[in-house]
């Protein structure tokens, strides 16, 4: 069992470094260790539902916290980008999104929006039986027995709007100019706006770039650093 010292914890944990020596280390799960927040820390340090980790663990063990409408009982469970955290007894719902220069953060959302989630397609591959499988950034997989034109149109880098808790595909958002995107990594993390240019025809070692028209001007970042979140406007709240 590994340990995580507080001074080595990601900044978005937002825990006081000198209050103790160790912090909760995320369990293996749907999000990488450096791109998530353990559920216990989320409850104690972000939402302030508990003053100590003992209290946070008790709340979680009593099955009072849902992530993507599933009961989670592990206080180390990794909660990451676009996940929906619900506290049914309080009637509150929150979404994890990146914030500018602060890493991952929480925003409060309404219950109707809590039934939607956006996932970025990070892998597209054929599996046994000739089926096509899509893997999203949060570990969700969609397997298609019949591969029609609509399924073939799904590309790596595109996004899928998923209904919760059914986990069914509601809408396909293409990675294309004119659509709305959110920067999820890099120095411009948290900014969002319309895609005005995608530059893929680059020579090695350069990487594909994208330019967004954001609130305070234009930003250019790596194509792999963005997630499409809508067409004319974002389909989920971003602030």
Residues of the chain with CATH 2.30.30.30: 180-230
Domain 180-230: give its CATH architecture: Roll (2.30)
pLDDT reading at 142 higher than 80: yes
CATH code linked to domain 4-111: 3.10.290.10
Whole-prediction pTM value? 0.93
Q: What is the pLDDT, as a whole number, of residue 3?
A: 83
Q: What is the pLDDT, as a whole number, of residue 111?
A: 94
Residues of the chain with CATH 2.40.50.740: 115-173
Give the pLDDT confidence of 153-211 residue by residue, as tens digits.
999 999 999 999 999 999 999 999 999 999 999 999 999 999 999 999 888 888 999 99
Q: What is the pLDDT, as a whole number, of residue 129?
A: 86
- Enumerate helices (H) and strands (E) in the chain, giving the number of each: 3, 19
Give the pLDDT confidence of 23-69 residue by residue, as tens digits.
999 999 999 999 999 999 999 999 999 999 999 999 999 999 999 99
Render the burial of 154-175: b for 16+ CB within 10 Å, e for the rest: beebbbbbbebeeeebeebbeb
Confidence class of residue 125 from pLDDT cuts 50, 70 and 90?
Answer: very high
40: phi then psi, degrees, rounded to nearest 5: -65, -45
Stretch 96-121: mean pLDDT: 96
Stretch 219-225: mean pLDDT: 97
> Do the Cβ atoms of 118 and 179 come closer than 8 Å?
no
Residues of the chain with CATH 3.10.290.10: 4-111
Residue 163 token pair: 């209904």
Q: What is the pLDDT, as a whole number, of residue 108?
A: 97
Domain 115-173: give its CATH architecture: Beta Barrel (2.40)
Q: What is the pLDDT, as a whole number, of residue 1?
A: 52
pLDDT reading at 147 higher than 90: no
Q: Which residues contact 197 (CB under 8 A, 6 or more apart)?
A: 177, 210, 211
Q: What is the pLDDT, as a whole number, of residue 204?
A: 84
Cα–Cα distance for residue pair 198/184, rounded to 1 Å:
16
pLDDT reading at 115 higher than 90: yes
């Amino acid at each position: 069992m590994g340990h995580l010292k507080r001074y080595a914890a990601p900044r978005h944990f937002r825990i006081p470094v000198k209050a103790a020596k160790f912090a909760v280390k995320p369990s293996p799960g749907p999000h990488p260790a450096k791109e998530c927040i353990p559920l216990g820390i989320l409850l104690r340090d972000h939402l302030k539902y508990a003053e100590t980790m003992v209290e946070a663990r008790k709340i979680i063990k009593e099955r009072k916290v849902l992530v993507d409408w599933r009961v989670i009982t592990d206080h180390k469970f990794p909660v990451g980008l676009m996940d929906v955290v619900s506290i049914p007894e309080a009637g509150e719902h929150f979404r994890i999104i990146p914030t500018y220069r602060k890493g991952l953060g929480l925003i409060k959302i309404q219950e109707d929006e809590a039934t939607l989630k956006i996932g970025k397609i990070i892998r597209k591959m054929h599996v046994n039986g000739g089926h096509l499988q899509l893997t999203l950034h949060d570990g969700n997989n969609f397997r298609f027995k019949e591969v029609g034109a609509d399924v073939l149109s799904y590309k790596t880098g595109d996004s899928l709007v998923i209904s919760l808790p059914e986990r069914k595909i509601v809408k396909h958002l293409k990675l294309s100019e004119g659509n709305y995107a959110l920067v999820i990594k890099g120095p411009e993390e948290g900014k969002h706006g319309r895609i005005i240019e995608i530059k893929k025809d680059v020579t090695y070692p350069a990487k594909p770039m994208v330019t967004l028209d954001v609130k305070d001007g234009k930003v250019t970042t790596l194509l792999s650093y963005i997630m499409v979140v809508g067409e004319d406007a974002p389909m989920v709240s971003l602030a």
